[in-house]
Chains A and B, each alone.
Chain A
């Protein structure tokens, strides 16, 4: 009898989770596909076709792809040398740099865009500086001329840490004895890198590059702030108002999804062969990191320093805007004040936004801890029929852009549950929380997965053997042993939910439900130092996220980087 209940409960959990993911991940995706391909006359590809034939739509697609490709390439250029030095060389201050390199992640790039605009716009610092030096006759709107350049620079500076973390891991996983063997057979260090290290690291490089590509391809906030209307994500955002009536919006979402999926499929396929080689298993030799000194070290410092300076420029400018009384056609602000920090916390809009974000992020965390732990437990400990499947499905949100999920929610839940708590037009809170949770679920699953795999199953067997029922084993042994992993996953989930952009911009329609990011966006449009208040709110959020990341890093130690890794 007890034997039966032992095998039924896990299946109940399995089916419960599959149902949850089916409703909040599968169904919206299906709905979006149907909206794009089915109209009154039945199945039709007219709208999909329009996207790749109509010049305006084509231009949007081209712009988006261009941004994604350029961002990916420039991230690679920045990250490759950086990752190699961090993985292979020892030098003073390495730990400090390793920490600082994560800082760019703590600011949504569209907030940084506000800061950058102030530096490079017509009335910004650069124009002022050039005029001051007599190099320009009048103010130049640098970003107005090259908006795409601005978008690419900002997103590169935001996303290169993601690629960098993947690369460091990939390099670190190459068995040192393989490189020793190449050197032993006469390959110079450069040749060894090209012929051994790089090919063996390809899976990691591709995985990281795909993440960056999709992230850049679907980034909504940055082009919006730079006034680039003709990119796919912004056009999707603009079609939110006509979600029920115009199938073109769905078609755009499907296009984004297809290209993201294609990117993932390609990177998996291209690296399939080398995957076997790269995962040799346990390293047979411990790597000796060669110490770096002299001129190479100075060059490395210069390189790291300048990348960090550029990458942190948005953060710095946002903080300066928040502190500045007046900043117009001058290199630096003309007066300083703390007023906006107070206003960022004081107004109705911002207070409500913070409460909303807090509530949403907490709810998302609770959902993720429960669902994420259950998934990992089923996959690692029970190995049920279908649990591999579950693992794949739970990782899907990495490949499904937030934009797609939000748009799908908006479409299907307002059509099927009009006026109820699941209708985002009436009250988006429930769906916002769920969308945050679904989007961050992969991090939690990965954290719990890693924890369970590192924890020997005999700990649980020993508890069972001494009389603890399955539930008691989880409560007294499994959960306490996983605390660090689950807490780290929670902190990350919380931090990123607080700053989720695309879901928030699309789903939160009326200001009483605005989360922080949407409030920042709304404030920027506002009059009366709106930009300063927005920047101040952004600074508060940055501080919060930074603290969260530091906390998570303390809990996870070196495994922190694994959170942002693909595959």
Chain B
């Protein structure tokens, strides 16, 4: 087992009365594309700035490659950062911006020239080296910032909401671009964002942060499909949450009582359940399927309240008495589903996830 590129242990940081980070621990493997995901103000940027040494934690330790970096000044951390507002120095041209870190590392002038040209080629900015930052578009500036961080051959790069200043179309392109640049290197990327699509689509692994505390750790698929708690369920996508009671536990399979009937369900690993416990049953809308299941699906009857066409999908609101549920199905011309009809629906047990009612029991 190699030493993790970054290990964060029990880091706490307060600003006055506000606890920005509360006992946060995680580790990032070498070469991993690691995401810190959370709503704005949750402390994820503070975590990144602590990694860069721009903030000092009140307690806790941080190691890079097994070495404690607490005594290293920010300029000795060797973890270049991609700033949210780019922070491209307006008085230096692209070449000098990108070469800045190499000059500080005492690299000979000729080598700097070669390495800057090389990295500019890799980010698709050949021929732009003499431009000033003000003469570049938003996407080009973003590429310069990436080049500036990558050119020093670091083992860690920190990215602070790198795409938040771009319009929707460019954001998609740059997301792919960052994924490609990460693939080409063996650098660990620590990427901060509030956009769950960015995280789910790019991350090798991720943590979800809420109010300074970690609420979820894992790979995107696990966290999305088997969220450990209500916050992760809500923040990573749309979720139906039904009140339920555990009636029996048989290994990984959990039997629950829901308003729609007696169902089979599963949960995130590491959580324990007891018969009689009040829980929540989480179902992603796209798991709610019309008709009866072939095998052991959890079937139920419900009335279609509204149907909205959202392009590729139909957004359907269902109800059965007081219980409401949303379904997302692929849209077809002349859809057979119309408002007012009552029909049969089902959810597979592997998509029926039991989560704790209390937020404190996160299983972490």
Which of A's residues lie within 8 Å of B, judged by CB?
1-3, 6, 456, 458-459, 461-470, 472-473, 476-477, 480-481, 483
Give the docked Cα–Cα distance between A6 and B101 (Å): 20
Closest 8 CB pairs of A and B: A466-B101, A462-B87, A467-B104, A458-B87, A2-B73, A464-B74, A465-B81, A480-B91
B79 located at the interface, meaning its Cβ lies under 8 Å from any Cβ of chain A in the complex: yes
In angstroms, Cα B78 to Cα A467, docked, is 7
Taking a contact as CB atoms closer than 8 A, the residue among B72, B78, B90, B149 that contacts A2 in the complex is: B72
Number of A-B residue pairs, CB cutoff 8 Å, is 72
Q: Assess A465 versus B71: contact at CB under 8 Å? Given A458-B85, A481-B89, A481-B90.
A: no
Question: Does B43 lie at the interface of the complex (its beta carbon under 8 Å from any beta carbon of A)?
Answer: no
1/0 per residue, CB under 8 A from A, across B57-93: the answer is: 0000000000000011111111111010101011100
A466 near B89: Cβ-Cβ < 8 Å: no
Supply 6 further A-B pairs (C-beta < 8 A) apart from A458-B83, A461-B74, A463-B100: A3-B73, A462-B81, A467-B104, A469-B75, A476-B100, A481-B91
- B79, B87, B100, B105: most-surrounded residue (chain A CB, <10 A): B87
Interface residues on B, range: 20 to 34
- Known interface pairs A6-B73, A466-B101; A461-B78 also in contact (CB < 8 Å): no
Does the CB pair B71–A459 fall under 8 Å? no
How close is B187's CB to chain A, nearest CB, in angstroms? 15
CB pairs A–B below 8 angstroms (22 shown)? A2-B71, A2-B76, A3-B73, A456-B85, A459-B89, A461-B52, A461-B83, A462-B81, A462-B87, A463-B89, A463-B100, A465-B52, A465-B74, A465-B75, A465-B79, A466-B148, A466-B152, A467-B104, A481-B89, A481-B90, A481-B91, A483-B91
Q: Which residue of B lies closest to A1 (CB)?
A: B71
B275 within 8 A of A: no
Interface of B is mostly: loop
Q: Is B364 an interface residue (CB 8 A)?
A: no
- From A3, A456, A466, B80 is in contact (CB under 8 Å) with A466
Residues from chain A with a CB closer than 8 A to the CB of B104 are 466-468, 472
CA of A44 to CA of B72, assembled, Å: 60
Q: Residue on B with the closest CB to A2?
A: B73
In the bound complex, what is the Cα–Cα distance between A477 and B91 (angstroms)?
8
Q: Known contacts A6-B73, A465-B54, A466-B152; decide if A477 and B79 are in contact (CB<8 Å).
A: no
Residues of A within 8 A of B89 (CB): 459, 462-463, 477, 480-481
Name the residue among A6, A467, A469 with the largest chain B CB count within 10 angstroms. Answer: A467
B67 to chain A, nearest CB (A): 15
Smallest CB separation, A201 vs chain B (Å): 34
Highest count of chain A CB atoms <10 Å: which of B73, B76, B101, B105: B73
Give the chain A neighbours of B73 by CB distance below 8 A. Answer: 2-3, 6, 469
Chain B positions within 8 Å of A3 at CB level: 56, 71, 73
Are A462 and B91 closer than 8 Å at their CB atoms?
A: no
Determine if B85 and A466 form an interchain contact, defined as CB atoms under 8 angstroms apart.
no
Q: Give CA–CA (A130, B78) in the complex, Å.
A: 83
For the complex, give the distance between the alpha carbons of A298 and B100 in Å: 57
Asked if A468 and B75 sit within 8 Å, CB to CB, the answer is: yes
- The distance in angstroms between the C-alpha atoms of A481 and B97, with both chains bound, is 14
Residue contact A467 to B76, C-beta cutoff 8 Å: yes
By a CB distance below 8 angstroms, the chain B residues around A469 are 73, 75
Chain B residue, CB-CB nearest to A466: B101
- Which chain A residues lie closer than 8 Å to B85 at the CB level? 456, 458
152-180 of chain B: CB within 8 A of chain A: 152
Beta-carbon contacts of B88-125 to A below 8 Å, as 1s and 0s? 01110000000011001100000000000000000000
Which residues of the partner chain B approach A468 to less than 8 Å between Cβ atoms? 75, 100, 104
Contact present for B91 and A465 (CB under 8 Å): no
**Contacting residues, chain B, for A2 (C-beta < 8 A):** 71-73, 76
Bound-state Cα–Cα, A469 to B72, Å:
12
